[in-house]
């Protein structure tokens, strides 16, 4: 019984479990295929993203009114959701990179303090 209690306490202190908000957005679009206004709008849209990771490894990703949920796992520094690479977990930050037809978007997430 004591081992189960200790294991659950450790899980609650897991630096990965919690709510994550956008810290920084870097939009790298091809200038010939985009405009400064499009880059600005895309960056602003990304800033509203939120990630929640629960004790049962369920990840909820909220972006622009859409909500996606799935089981996540950390393999080394790679974060997977539903066995698809979502990003990297390095130095307490979640880093994602999305490729689009006109360039890429890099987003870093920081963990919010526990309530």
> Domain range spanning residue 10?
2-111
Instruction: Give pLDDT tens digits along the chain (115 positions).
Output: 233 333 333 344 677 899 999 999 999 999 889 999 999 998 999 999 999 999 889 999 999 889 999 999 989 999 999 999 999 999 999 999 999 999 999 999 999 998 7
CATH number at residue 94: 2.40.128
Geometric angle at alpha carbon 98, from 94 and 99, rounded to 5°: 155
Residues with Cβ < 8 Å from 30, sequence gap 6 or more? 102, 103
What is the reported pLDDT for 13? 64
User: Model's pTM, two decimal places?
Assistant: 0.82
What is the reported pLDDT for 56? 86
In the chain, how many domains are there?
Answer: 1
Nearest CA among 102, 96, 64, 55 for reference residue 78: 96
């Amino acid at each position: 019984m004591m081992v189960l209690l200790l294991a659950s306490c450790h899980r609650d202190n897991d630096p990965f479990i919690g709510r994550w908000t956008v810290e920084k957005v870097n939009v790298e679009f091809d200038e010939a295929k985009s405009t400064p206004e499009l880059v600005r709008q895309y960056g602003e849209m990304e800033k509203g993203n939120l990630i929640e990771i629960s004790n049962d490894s369920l990840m909820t990703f909220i972006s622009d009114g859409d909500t996606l949920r799935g089981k996540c796992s950390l393999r080394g520094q790679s974060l997977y959701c539903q066995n698809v690479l979502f990003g990297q977990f390095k130095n307490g930050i979640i880093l994602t990179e999305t490729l689009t037809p006109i360039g890429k978007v890099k987003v870093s997430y920081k963990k919010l303090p526990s309530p």
